[in-house]
Amino acid sequence: YVVNAIQQFKISKTFSAEVNVMHRSGWLEGVIRVKPVTVAGAGVSQQILKGKGTVRLTARDIFYSQKMNGRSRYSNVDVHLRQRSETQVFTIGFTWNFSKGKKIAPVKRTGGSAGEEQNRIGQ
């Protein structure tokens, strides 16, 4: 099974944070029994330039815990494995909202497509 938990916090009108955790129970991959894996991440975002832009900082695998430990016993061969990749990732991002504050009015139709079709054929 896999469980994902996400908690978002709105600290102020322009500042927010998020914490997330993913847990995957042990699983069988071929002849290898893999132990459970838990990974945590977090991020913060700040609106800037009167709400037209947002800066985000995120971190994945904060505790450097995403590693694969497993064991295989097949016939007369015992194998213990441990795989550790570079899973700690820190990112910074910027988003620009081009249409912030501008509302576009929807086009109001006075008739349906049947009326348009009748006009097209001359009735």
* pTM exceeding 0.85: no
Domain contains 76: yes
Domain contains 105: no
Domain contains 24: yes
SS3 track for the chain = CEEEEEEEEECCCCEEEEEEEEEECCEEECCEEECCEEEEEEEEEEEECCCCEEEEEEEECCCCCCEEEEEEEECCEEEEEEEECCCCEEEEEEEECCCCCCCCCCCCCCCCHHHHHHHHHCC
Tell me how long the chain is: 123
Half-sphere exposure of 57 (CA within 13 A, CB side): 5
Other residues' Cβ atoms within 10 Å of the Cβ of residue 66: 19
- CA dihedral of residues 110, 114, 119, 121 (deg, nearest 10): 170
Domain contains 72: yes
Count of structural domains within the chain: 1
pLDDT in tens, the chain (123 residues): 999 999 999 999 999 999 999 999 988 888 889 999 999 999 999 999 988 899 999 999 998 888 888 999 888 889 998 888 888 999 999 999 887 566 777 777 666 677 677 777 776
Q: What is the pLDDT of residue 101?
A: 61
- CA dihedral of residues 37, 4, 87, 69 (deg, nearest 10): 10
In CATH, what number is assigned to the domain containing residue 50?
3.90.1150.210
Token reading at 96: 């620009």
Domain contains 32: yes
The domain in which residue 46 lies consists of 2-100
Domain contains 115: no
Domain contains 62: yes
Domain contains 107: no
